[in-house]
Amino acid sequence: MPKVKRPQIAGPTYDDRDEAPAAPRSPSRGQARRARDVPYSVAWFRDRIATYALGTIICGALMLTAAAWMGGTLGRFGQNMNNGFNVIAGWAGMAIKGVEVCGPGATTKNPCPELDPEVVKQVLEASGVGTGVATVGADPYAIRDRVDQLEVGTASVRRLWPDRVRIEIDQRQVVALWQEHSNGGAWRVVDQNGRAFEKADLTKYADLPRVIGANAAQAATGLVAALKAYPNLAERFEAAYRVGERRWDIKFRGRADLVVMPEDSQLKGALDCVNLQHAANDLLNLPAMRIDARRENCTLAIQPIPGAPPVPAPGDA
């Protein structure tokens, strides 16, 4: 059988006016390794970090150049930048439009309990927050620290997005004048929590009840509240001495002696007894050296002054 020749197929020919297609280029070793070994997400993140880092360097250089060109300090330039940021925040609706100063115990019907107008004024001034300031720049912790220096109360600060700041004040109430040692010492004004004011003007609080002794400041609120239920005793109350950090000896005006009270848990019952005997027998005007109200069943132990007329028994008309 004769052999059949395989046909020869020639490739395309190009003349001088045509260009042959470029030969495919093999990827470099680095490119091949990136495509083969580096996940796409990692490569994307790395590229973005590099881009942002370069942008930060360029922006910093531009800021330094601009500050030098303006002939001012970086502080002034930073202030100008901050002012510009506040303007942009205002355009975006993210700038402070109001500061609320409220008391505790907000409800749906009363979302902002009122405070003393003078306290509100002081808090607003101390907060340092003005309208037009970017909300994100109103630091709640810095505002709270500035307000706490006023000693008006415990402050709680919140940002109400997008354009308000709320400052809640648990206002301090003056309760009594406190002297830590019965043998002398400085008098201090204390609040309802037993904390002493650092800068209180004592001349403004001369009429406050006076408590003396260790732990007297912390217990003063309970004593003052108990006395309020007995106006006849409260108007004659002069001072109270804390004994053993658990009970009181009370001095009433017009008397040289002390009325001995039981422990705090029984204070109300003893005051009730003293008030009843005073109404019935003028107890607080009797010539006695000591009145002890620590007995049960409203029984008082009265020690008369030597040589004075006999003290009538409680209950005698």
224, part of any domain = yes
Which residue, of 171, 198, 218, is where some domain finishes?
Answer: 171
| Average pLDDT estimate for 277-303 | 91
Does the predicted TM-score (pTM) go above 0.85? no
Q: Which domain holds residue 161?
A: 98-171
Strand order in the sheet with 210-212: 187-191, 174-179, 210-212, 237-243, 247-252, 259-263, 288-292, 301-304
Domain-ending residue, one of 118, 150, 171? 171
Q: Are residues 271 and 253 part of one domain? A: yes
Query: Domain check: are 290 and 182 in the same one?
Result: yes
Distance (Å, whole) CA 216 – CA 210: 9
Residue range 70-90: average pLDDT? Answer: 47
Same domain, 156 and 182: no
**86 part of a folded domain:** no
Produce one character per residue of 126-161: b if its CB has 16 or more CB atoms within 10 Å, e if not.
Answer: bbebeeebbbeebeeeebeebbeebbbbebebebee
Same domain, 159 and 181: no
- Is the residue at 183 inside a domain? yes
Domain count, the chain: 2
Distance in angstroms (rounded) separating the CA atoms of residues 274 and 310:
19
pLDDT tens digits for range 118-156: 999 999 999 888 766 776 778 889 999 999 888 888 899
With vertex at residue 264, the alpha carbon angle to CA 300 and CA 170, rounded to the nearest 5 degrees, is 140
What is the mean predicted confidence (pLDDT) over 287-307? 88
The per-residue pLDDT for range 202-254, each reduced to its tens digit, is 889 999 999 999 899 999 999 999 999 999 999 999 999 999 999 999 999 98
Same-domain status, 149 and 207: no
Question: Do residues 255 and 305 make contact, with C-beta atoms less than 8 angstroms apart?
Answer: no
In-domain check, residue 312: no
> Domain check: are 121 and 178 in the same one?
no
Shared domain for 209 and 112, answered yes or no, is no
* Domain boundary, last residue among 114, 143, 171: 171
pLDDT confidence of residue 275: 96
